[in-house]
Amino acid sequence: LSNEVSHFGVLEDQEKSAGIALLGCKGGRVEANQVSDGNERGIWLEGSEGILVKGNDVFLIAGDKMKLRGYGIHLSGSDRNEIIANKVHKIEYIDILLASSARNVVQDNHCGPAAADGIALNGDGSVRNRILSNRIESTQWSQIYTSSGAHDNLFRDLHVTGGGWGASSNCAGGNR
């Protein structure tokens, strides 16, 4: 199943929006979709596990990097998911964010350009994730960013070019 999702946004009385959202789901696939020209998040998993997010093209997601908004693919409190072979580009804040999410595999994605970070992990629950063979280019801040207690994550075989700080860390430890 392939879909094109575009021109979505945040309603005046709501704070959150996504082109595709899986909230509290177990198992499933988000595959071969085009998600574009939206506000807040392209693909969003919250409290979900066992989801395959593969082969999607996510771009032109607006937000406000000074208010920490605008994500291509956003996992929040979501464990044991696979984020594989997606193209995430022209994002206002972060291409791929794992917030308080554990034991996920983020592999073979192409990220950038982004207005802030390429792949970011934050929150005490962001542990034991595997970030493998991703291409991250042309970010204004960090290509890889870990913060707020993210630890015991593995970063391997990354191709990182043309950005601000490369890999940076703020209050995170034990990543390799």
Q: Which of 110, 98, 92, 118 is nearest to 172 (CA)?
A: 98
> pLDDT digit string (tens) for 6-52?
555 554 445 567 889 999 999 999 999 999 988 889 999 999 999 99
Contact present, 86 and 136 (Cβ < 8 Å): no
Element of type H or E holding 176: none
For residue 131, the model assigns a pLDDT of 96
> pLDDT digit string (tens) for 54-107?
999 999 888 765 666 789 999 999 999 999 999 999 998 899 999 999 999 999
For residue 176, the model assigns a pLDDT of 54
> pLDDT digit string (tens) for 57-70?
999 888 765 666 78
Q: Other CB atoms closer than 10 Å to residue 170's CB: what's the count?
A: 11
As given in the structure block, the two tokens for residue 31 are 């595959």
For residue 5, the model assigns a pLDDT of 67
CA quadruple 128, 132, 134, 140: dihedral sign: positive
